[in-house]
Every structure is written in C-alpha cells, then in structure tokens.
Structure 1
Amino acid sequence: MVKFLADTFSSQVYNKDAFFLIAGPCVVESENLVFEVAEKVAEICKKLQIPLIFKASYRKANRTSLSSFTGLGDEVGLDIIRKAGEKYSLPTTTDIHTEHEALLAAKYVDILQIPAFLCRQTDLLVAAGNTGKIVNVKKGQFVSGESMKFAVEKIKATGNQKIMLTERGTTFGYQDLVVDYRNIPIMQQFDAPVIMDCTHSLQQPNQVTGVTGGNPKLIGTIASAAIAAGADGLFIETHPDPSCAKSDGANMLRLDLLEELLIKLIKIRKAVKE
C-alpha cells in the first residue's frame, strides 16, 4: 500500500491483502445521523479488518433543483464530521468545491475530495494540493481514465504526492452511466490508489422531477466487478433508510446490507489474490 495510506490507517487493523473502504452518508443531515452511521460502519469494518475512511459531505453544491437540501452550514457540518472522526478514531473526508473551501475543510478532515464535475478545475486542484492533505479526485463522467494523469500532474506540481483517484462511471446518454473497468488499471499507472465509487456510478441523472435517480440493487455487482478488476478501495454511501435521505437516497446502500456485501467482497478479493 502507498505509504500515505498506511499512515492514514495506522490506528486500524490492516490486512495487506484487503481493500479499503470510504463510506458514510451522502450529506451531513444531523449529528445523530452521522454518528449512527459512523458507529455502525466502524464496528463492521473493525470486525472484518477492512481499513475505513469515514465520508460525509458538509455541503452539496451540485444539486439539480434549487430546493434540494445542501447542508446545515459549512462549519457546523465540518465540525460534526470532525467529531465523528475523533469519537470513532477514523480518518475523514468530504467534498470541496472552491479554493476557499480547500483551506476551510483542511482544518477539519484528513482527505479532501474533488467532485467529478470539478476534476479539471486547475485552481481547485492546486489549492487542495497546497493544503498538504491527501487529495481524492473523482474521475469526471465526461473524461477518460487516461486523461486523469493531468489532474494528478496538477496536484503533484504543488509538491503534494498524496493522491487518490476514484472511478464513478461515464455518461451514457442523458440519464444513465456505465462503468468501464479498464479505467482501474489505467489510473493505477499514475502511482495513485484507485477507488470504485459503487453508489454514484449507479446514478440516473437529469430526471424531470429534479431529483437524481439510481439503481441500488446493482451496488453489489459494481463492487464485485471492481474488486475482481483490482481496485484498491471502494466508495459506498450508506444510510439507515435511503428513502428518507436528504441527498442521493436513490442510489445509496441501506446500512443493514453493508456487512453482508463486505463479507462477499472479502471472499472475491481473496480469490483474486490467490
């Protein structure tokens, strides 16, 4: 494993043959919700010896509708994420959208995540790199795996070598995405761990209702194929009741289904390694 990730997981049980997991709710809906998900996912991952990064967005800037929930307030949301990380001894990550947010979020979390739509924003990537934090860049739905080398180069130009890349599907028509698993080994060539976003890759955007759709029944399929293809990590948004989630509920995994899925994926990983 890349040294910066080994350092990130230093407080957790780590199996060198395991994949790591980035998981949590889509957005900070409340402190209670964040703590509930963090506690349960941390418990599962500790039992299964899967290194965990806790994820929640303090702000959702990319919403279809003006009326969509965007957050509780920047510093309120960030502080809730920070407290969850401290309480459950977990590294944390959240999305950022502007150069100013890079500096703000870096005070609260361990990893800065660049949303897919912003993966070509030079000033944002440079600002994230300059914080010295780990930077996870999601591959845009509109770019190839090969072209992500330019995002990597922008961050490395700041002197920051701590970079992760996430595959999250490619636009297929107006209302669907497809996953090209060739992007996993392609992006690994850039000396960055590659993560499969198993939930956002199942989004069905541009619905006439103004709310993004999804196909969560296929989360296991996406995750299994990613592990078989050699992904270093998985990204799974999860919620106790996705039907009540304030963001991306249509493509999130129900929290009580997570452990069973991870057990299956461990078996696939073991078979691949053998």
Structure 2
Amino acid sequence: MENFLQQLFAQQSYKSNNFFLIAGPCVVESEDLVMEVAETVSGICKKLEIPYVFKASYRKANRTSASSFTGLGDEVGLGLIKKVGDKYQLPTTSDVHAHDECAEAAKYIDILQIPAFLCRQTDLLLAAADTGKIVNVKKGQFLSGPSMKFAVEKIRQAGNDKIMLTERGTTFGYQDLVVDYRNIPWMKEHGTPVIMDCTHSLQQPNQTSGVTGGNPQLIGTVAKAAIATGANGLFIETHPNPAMAKSDGANMLRLDLLEPLLYQLVELRMTIAKLESMS
C-alpha cells in the first residue's frame, strides 16, 4: 500500500504503462457492502495488475434533498473505511467538506478528496494540505482545466506537493454535464496525476425532483476516451445493485460489469503505450 502511494509521486512514476483505479460505492451504507465491493474490486485489480484505491464517502454533505441518506455517522463511516484498508491492504479515500474535518479524516484515510463544488474553498484546501496526506481535488463543473492551477498553487504553497486532479465534467445547461477531454492534458501540465471520474461526469442533476439521474450505459465510453487522452487514473463508483443504492445509484456501474470493462481498458492502455513508444 505505502509503496503505491510513494511511487505515485516519486519521479512522476504515475506515468507508468497502466492506469490506477479509484473505485467503491458512493457512500458507506453498511459493513457488508464496503467489504463485498473491496474484496471483489481488489481481486480484479490484482489479476489485471491495476493499482487500486478504495473509495466510499463517510458522509454525503451535498445531497440535493434534505431527506436523502447522508451516512451512518462520521465515526462509523470512517472506521469502516479504515477497516477495509486494513483488511485488504488498500489505500483509501473519502470526501471532506469543511476545514475542520480534515485532521480527523486524515487519521483514517490516505487520500483526502475535495468535492468539485468546493475546489476553490481556500481554507479547505489549506487544511487538507496541512495533514500531509495526498489531496485529490475534483475540478469544479464551472471551471476549465487550466484554471485548476490556482487550487494546485494553494496546496503547494502550504508545503504539500502530493496533489491529484480529477475531471468530472462541465455543467451543460441546468440538468446535464459534458466532458471536455482537453482538460486531461491541460491539467497534466500542472505536474499532477489526472483522474477521470467516469460516473459523476454522467450525472444529470435534477433540481425539481431532488433525485439525480445519470447515464451509466456510457461509463465505458467515457473511460475509454479518458485512457486514449492520457488519464493517469480512473474513478468509478460501483455497487452490486445500483437500483437499491442509497446515493447516486442512477450513475453507478453494476459491480459485475466492472471486470470486463477493466479488461478492455487495460488492453487499450497497452495499445496506447505501444503507440507512444513508437512516436
């Protein structure tokens, strides 16, 4: 686990031939769920030699409706994520939403994820940087890739150079998102690994019903395009039964569909690497 995290930021080793994967359910719903997903995905990734980071939100602080599920409680959620990491020897990540959450969350997780809506929140970025952990900043739906340099600068100026950036789509009208793949090479120019969020970029926010929709049938399309345009990592939320998920079920990948997709993506990455070596 530590070797992967160290190698990711040592001498730009994240530019290796394979991509890494951040995956898990949207939120910690139960111990059984997080263990099932972690065991399944880690087994697939070992087989395909994909470095794997387990992801689940310990608290969903940005739900559309006040009646939506937000979590089992911070201590329980964080404790279960740590239990997953310890049992399967995986690095872990989860979202943080306020500066006073960062130090506590850093006791349990390896990578602090900054939600897209909060990517300009200076006190949050600085508090995350101060933990010394890796900070993964999701690009705001309202920002361009080049403009993410300011988030990177804030974290670096706080003395932390362990930064990732994640593309998760751009607002298109009121209830849709589009992916501008120029943002992947543009954000790599900031000297950070760049991740494609293949599930949230397919969200269809619904401000009237309070329930977000999505297009999960396009997850493979988004992922393949991201590999082709140079993404270092992929972010895919997955669930054994998305229809029963307590958050973001409309845009998660069904767990049994993950392995065949990852197999195709590894083959594609190998082809891209071969072509790059010939140029």
After superposition, the C-alpha distances for 1:218-256 in whole angstroms (9 at most, x for unaligned) are 000000000000100000000000000000000000000
Partner AA of 2:224 in structure 1: S
Structure 2 Cα separation of the partners of residues 157 and 206 of structure 1: 37
Query: How many residues end up aligned between the 2 structures?
Result: 269
After superposition, the C-alpha distances for 1:130-154 in whole angstroms (9 at most, x for unaligned) are 0000000000000110110000000
After superposition, the C-alpha distances for 1:203-231 in whole angstroms (9 at most, x for unaligned) are 00024221100000000000000000010
Alignment partner, residue 135 of structure 1: 135
Structure 2 Cα separation of the partners of residues 258 and 9 of structure 1: 27
Gaps of at least 5 residues in structure 2 are 275-279
Alignment partner, residue 115 of structure 2: 115
SS of corresponding position for 1:112: strand
Identity across the alignment (%): 74
Partner AA of 2:261 in structure 1: L
Alignment partner, residue 261 of structure 2: 261
Partner AA of 1:110 in structure 2: D
* CA displacement at 1:162 relative to structure 2: 0.1
SS of corresponding position for 2:42: helix
Partner AA of 1:42 in structure 2: S
Structure 2 Cα separation of the partners of residues 130 and 193 of structure 1: 20
Change (3 A) 1:28 1:8: farther
Partner AA of 2:194 in structure 1: V
Structure 2 Cα separation of the partners of residues 217 and 208 of structure 1: 24
Structure 1 Cα separation of the partners of residues 130 and 139 of structure 2: 20
SS of corresponding position for 1:237: strand
SS of corresponding position for 1:90: coil
Alignment partner, residue 212 of structure 1: 212
* CA displacement at 1:267 relative to structure 2: 1.1
CA contact (8 A) 1:199 1:219 kept: yes
Structure 2 Cα separation of the partners of residues 4 and 161 of structure 1: 16
Structure 1 Cα separation of the partners of residues 212 and 23 of structure 2: 20
TM-score (structure 2 length as normaliser): 0.94
CA contact (8 A) 2:199 2:252 kept: yes
After superposition, the C-alpha distances for 1:41-89 in whole angstroms (9 at most, x for unaligned) are 0000000000000000000000100000000000110000000000000
After superposition, the C-alpha distances for 1:175-203 in whole angstroms (9 at most, x for unaligned) are 10000000000000111000000000000
Alignment partner, residue 47 of structure 1: 47
CA contact (8 A) 1:8 1:91 kept: no
Alignment partner, residue 236 of structure 1: 236
Alignment partner, residue 221 of structure 1: 221
Structure 1 Cα separation of the partners of residues 112 and 211 of structure 2: 26
Alignment partner, residue 169 of structure 2: 169
TM-score (structure 1 length as normaliser): 0.95
Q: Which has the higher helix share?
A: 2
Structure 2 Cα separation of the partners of residues 180 and 132 of structure 1: 31
Gaps of at least 5 residues in structure 1 are none
Alignment partner, residue 277 of structure 2: none
Alignment partner, residue 193 of structure 2: 193
Structure 2 Cα separation of the partners of residues 245 and 45 of structure 1: 23
CA contact (8 A) 1:4 1:162 kept: no
Alignment partner, residue 33 of structure 1: 33
Alignment partner, residue 156 of structure 2: 156
* CA displacement at 1:16 relative to structure 2: 3.1
Partner AA of 1:97 in structure 2: H
* CA displacement at 1:100 relative to structure 2: 1.0
SS of corresponding position for 2:165: strand
- Report the aligned-residue RMSD: 1.7
CA contact (8 A) 2:9 2:162 kept: no
SS of corresponding position for 2:224: helix
Alignment partner, residue 59 of structure 1: 59
